């Protein structure tokens, strides 16, 4: 079985900007686990454990979806938390796409893969980059202050030109990511 997901990679410059914000949150000494630079990506669909024989079929589906997708202009900015700012569990930086292409891509991937037997998403699409996860509420007050400070912080804009199928191996030092396939947008 191969634990995998589908994502859009973020340019290194913007990842580094995200890590600068993350450093401010780390300084609060909250009880949290923090995302490493190689873990900062825009997840479109988490597949979980996939049989090896299904990987090639997933690649074919993603190739076809990508071919029919135009490049997507993505804005990164605005720091927030799930489930909300007052009880932060997941700290994130927001993702926006004005023309709806990103959500359209997400829906196409979800629909095509549900036909292959993958579970259809039942939550609204809330694109984000995860900065970290709170393990307890220790340091919460400091985190809440920083969420307020960075809520409107814009990091930048980039144009996504592909989607990637990524293998995620869980190891004691954290997840190790390996690209299984890259699928360029056709338009």
- Catalytic residue (one of 41, 61, 102, 183): 41
Q: Tell me: the pLDDT tens digits for 78-134? A: 999 999 999 999 999 999 998 999 999 999 999 999 999 999 988 889 999 999 999
> How many whole angstroms separate alpha carbon 18 and alpha carbon 40?
9
What's the CATH code of the domain at 67? 3.90.1140.10
> How many whole angstroms separate alpha carbon 31 and alpha carbon 11?
28
> How many whole angstroms separate alpha carbon 83 and alpha carbon 67?
35
Residue 171 — pLDDT band, cuts 50, 70, 90? confident
DSSP string, 150-185: HTT-EEEEEEE-EEEEEEEEEETTEEEEEEEEEEE-
Active site residue 89: no
Q: What is the mean pLDDT of residues 49-73?
A: 97
Structure tokens belonging to residue 167: 């293998």
Residue 187 — pLDDT band, cuts 50, 70, 90? low
The whole-angstrom distance between residue 187's C-alpha and the CA centroid of its chain comes to 23
Residue 175 — pLDDT band, cuts 50, 70, 90? confident
For residues 10 and 40, is the Cβ–Cβ distance under 8 A? yes
In Å, what is the CA distance from 113 to each residue of 50, 106, 119, 165, 181?
A: 12, 11, 8, 13, 16
* CB-neighbour burial class of residue 168 (10 A; exposed 0-12, middle 13-18, buried 19+): middle
3-state secondary structure at position 71:
coil
Instruction: Indicate the number of domains in the chain.
Output: 1
Q: Tell me: the pLDDT tens digits for 135-166? A: 998 999 999 999 999 999 999 999 999 999 99
**What backbone torsions phi and psi does residue 68 show, to the nearest 5 degrees?**
-95, 15
- The reported pLDDT for the residue numbered 174 is 80
Give the structural domain span for 72.
2-184
- Catalytic residue (one of 128, 129, 155, 164): 128
Query: Does residue 11 surpass a pLDDT of 90?
Result: yes
Active site residue 128: yes
Any idea what DSSP says for residue 135? S
In Å, what is the CA distance from 144 to each residue of 79, 85, 86, 95?
A: 11, 6, 7, 20
Average pLDDT, the chain: 95
């Amino acid at each position: 079985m191969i634990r995998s997901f589908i994502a859009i990679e973020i340019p290194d410059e913007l990842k580094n900007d995200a890590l600068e914000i993350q450093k401010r949150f780390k300084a609060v000494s909250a009880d949290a686990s923090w995302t490493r630079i190689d873990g900062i990506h825009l997840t479109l669909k988490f597949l979980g454990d996939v049989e090896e024989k299904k990987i090639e079929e997933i690649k074919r589906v993603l190739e076809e979806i990508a071919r029919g997708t135009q490049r997507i202009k993505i804005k990164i900015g605005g720091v927030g938390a799930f489930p909300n700012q007052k009880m932060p569990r997941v700290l994130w930086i927001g993702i926006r796409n004005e023309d709806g292409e990103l959500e359209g891509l997400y829906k196409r991937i979800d629909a095509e893969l549900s036909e292959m037997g993958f579970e259809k998403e039942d939550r609204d699409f809330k694109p984000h980059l995860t900065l970290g996860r709170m393990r307890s509420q220790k340091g919460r007050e400091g985190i809440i202050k920083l969420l307020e400070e960075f809520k409107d912080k814009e990091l930048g804009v980039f144009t996504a030109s592909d989607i990637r199928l990524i293998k995620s191996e869980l190891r004691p030092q954290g997840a190790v990511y390996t690209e299984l396939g890259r699928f360029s947008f056709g338009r």
